[in-house]
Amino acid sequence: MTDRWALAPAEDGGVEVAPLGPDGLPAGPVRREPDLAEAVRGRPEVARWVWRSTAEVYPRLLATGVRVERCYDIEDAETLLLGHAGRYGEPRSAAAALARLRGGPVPPDPPQRSAEPGAQSPLFEPQSAHVPLADLIEVYADQQRRHDATAHPDRMRLLTAAESAGMLVAAEMNRAGLPWSAEVHRGVLHELLGERYAGGGEPRRLAELADEVSAAFGRRVRPDLPADVIKAFAQAGIKVRSTRRWEIESLDHPAVKPLVEYKKLYRIWVAHGWSWLQDWVRDGRFRPEFLAGGTVTGRWVTNGGGGLQIPKVIRRAVVADPGWRLVVADADQMEPRVLAAISRDPGLMEVAGRESDLYQSVSDRAFSGDRDQAKLAVLGAVYGQTSGDGLKNLAALRRRFPLAVAYVDEAARAGEEGRLVRTWLGRTCPPAAGAGEDLEEEAGIPTAEDDSDDRQQWVPGYASTNARARGRFARNFVVQGSAADWALLLLAALRQACAGMAAELVFFQHDEVIVHCPKEETEAVVAAIRQASELAGRLTFGDTPVRFPFTTAVVECYADAK
């Protein structure tokens, strides 16, 4: 069962396939066959399909009911390998990789396609130029050699394999869709926003709140226009720099309450209201397009519909099919557990070796039981907090967990100095990531904003705010990115564990996964999650005591999971 085959759809609708040897080179001739799906369906013994792009091939296979166990996505691997070599931004298409290999002119990558509301996953992705299978195999063999030249070849192999697995999962999720009740959604909208008025204007509740805001200011104010609100406050003798909630909330003015309420509901209305429902929900399913590895840290993104930002109140609309359930599984304190695993800090590993609340354990050791302080300190260390209580707490954290704090500090220093920073498996941060566009600041030349007094406290002397931004980015990158490494392995293991069942993975959001399954399968799914977590922890980070417990809920409605 170690058979690897390479595959490339031909331009005439047929397909080229070829068996591969252990070195990645062809172990037999390239064969032309008339039908892509049949070529795969007829070879169930193949353990891994090597192809240019999962997004090009796999939706077509799924459309005919064909699933594959594993794949290797050449263009995704090219991206990761280029990144590891510090060559971020070079064209990553198979055609470009081939050109680099042969010394020809390197074609630029085609422009990214943007999402269209309600668009089904296209059967043909408008992507890079066609590359014949024999050439594709050459690129693949070269990539195998390039894995060997990385800092940790075994980890790098795991990374490219894991991300390819993630792409299979993403394609399957895109096909399945998230079960969505339009009726429930409409009910929630009506309850929150009131009736819609003809003509597409604001619903009743928003109109009322806008009137209350205007009444409080004594003139007509549009609460959805920040400039208007700032002016209105100024006329009332209150200076605000923005209309962000945390800045507005504490003000002593009668407009504040309806304004904050307006902004909350306005958000629901524009981002998840009736037109969203119209655009993104079809046949009882919400279909955002999941893209595995869509960010530099390796986190997924969704293309369309804000699939990873479903507001809590709207989750009531996520309802299992009749007789089915949603198994909602959420990794507990994922980021500090990942930090324990990558830093190998003995104290933090010991704490992370228990399934109980990690922040509580940290606070018992370093914060005399104050869980909130402990959580702030840990998150501050991971995010690069620069002021407030976080700094004081960071010192306490450093005393108890020196290797953990040193790990992220070193990443931050590397980022500031423009050195490469990698996740545990080898995903590499582009050296300029986290940098803004402000070259004047980079050069240490004060800009107009710099004489605002609150910034200079934490921008000492001529230190570049850009370098600091890179430092914060890199500090977070090693944790968030390694967590994404682990999450890919988790998804891959969970997908395997669910392979024989009717259960389908329908949602994934950084540290949370939803499986939709017949109610008879829920126990098996919960067990599969546990087993997948254990396997993912071991495969990703090797032999550590760190555990990755999940909170799982078996529910009919997503909103009931928390």
Which residues in this chain contact DNA in the complex, by CB under 7 A?
Answer: 115, 117, 224-228, 230, 242-246, 263-264, 267, 270-271, 275-276, 279, 288, 294-297, 299, 301-312, 372, 376, 379-380, 383-390, 433-434, 454, 469, 472-473, 476-477, 480, 509-512
Min. distance of Cβ 412 from DNA in angstroms? 10
- Name the residue nearer to DNA (CB basis): 26 or 384: 384
Q: Which helix (H) or strand (E) holds 78?
A: helix 74-84
Min. distance of Cβ 181 from DNA in angstroms? 18
- Name the residue nearer to DNA (CB basis): 168 or 310: 310
- Name the residue nearer to DNA (CB basis): 193 or 296: 296
Min. distance of Cβ 543 from DNA in angstroms? 27
Residue ranges with strand state E in 402-524: 421-422, 428-429, 504-508, 512-518
CB 428 within 8 A of CB 83: yes
- Name the residue nearer to DNA (CB basis): 8 or 80: 80
CB 339 within 8 A of CB 479: yes
- Name the residue nearer to DNA (CB basis): 64 or 387: 387
Measured between alpha carbons, how far is 523 from 248 in angstroms, rounded to an integer? Answer: 47
- Name the residue nearer to DNA (CB basis): 225 or 445: 225
Number of helices (H), then strands (E), belonging to the chain: the values are 22, 16
- Name the residue nearer to DNA (CB basis): 101 or 308: 308
Min. distance of Cβ 463 from DNA in angstroms? 14
Min. distance of Cβ 155 from DNA in angstroms? 21
Residue 178: CA count within 13 A, CB half-sphere = 29
Q: Which amino acid is at 551?
A: T
From residue 178, alpha-carbon distances to 282, 283, 285, 310 in Å are 10, 11, 5, 12
Q: What letter would DSSP give residue 209?
A: H
Cβ neighbourhood burial of 498 (10 Å; 0-12, 13-18, 19+): buried
Min. distance of Cβ 240 from DNA in angstroms? 8
- Name the residue nearer to DNA (CB basis): 26 or 166: 166
CB 333 within 8 A of CB 358: yes
The per-residue DSSP string of 301-363 comes to EEESTTTT---GGGGGG-BPPTTEEEEEEEETTHHHHHHHHHH--HHHHHHHTSSS-HHHHHH
Measured between alpha carbons, how far is 34 from 17 in angstroms, rounded to an integer? Answer: 11
- Name the residue nearer to DNA (CB basis): 100 or 510: 510
Min. distance of Cβ 307 from DNA in angstroms? 7
Min. distance of Cβ 5 from DNA in angstroms? 33
- Name the residue nearer to DNA (CB basis): 103 or 111: 111
- Name the residue nearer to DNA (CB basis): 24 or 431: 431
Q: Which amino acid is at 256?
A: V
Measured between alpha carbons, how far is 29 from 150 in angstroms, rounded to an integer? Answer: 31
Helix 371-383 / helix 465-497 crossing angle, nearest 10 deg: 110
The per-residue DSSP string of 359-413 comes to HHHHHHHHSTT-HHHHHHHHHHHHHT--STHHHHHHHHHHHH-HHHHHHHHHHHH
Min. distance of Cβ 310 from DNA in angstroms? 6
Q: How far is CA 97 from the centre of its chain?
A: 26
Three-state secondary structure call for residue 48:
strand
Structure tokens at 204: 């009743």
Min. distance of Cβ 242 from DNA in angstroms? 3
Min. distance of Cβ 147 from DNA in angstroms? 24
CB 485 within 8 A of CB 477: no
- Name the residue nearer to DNA (CB basis): 92 or 146: 92
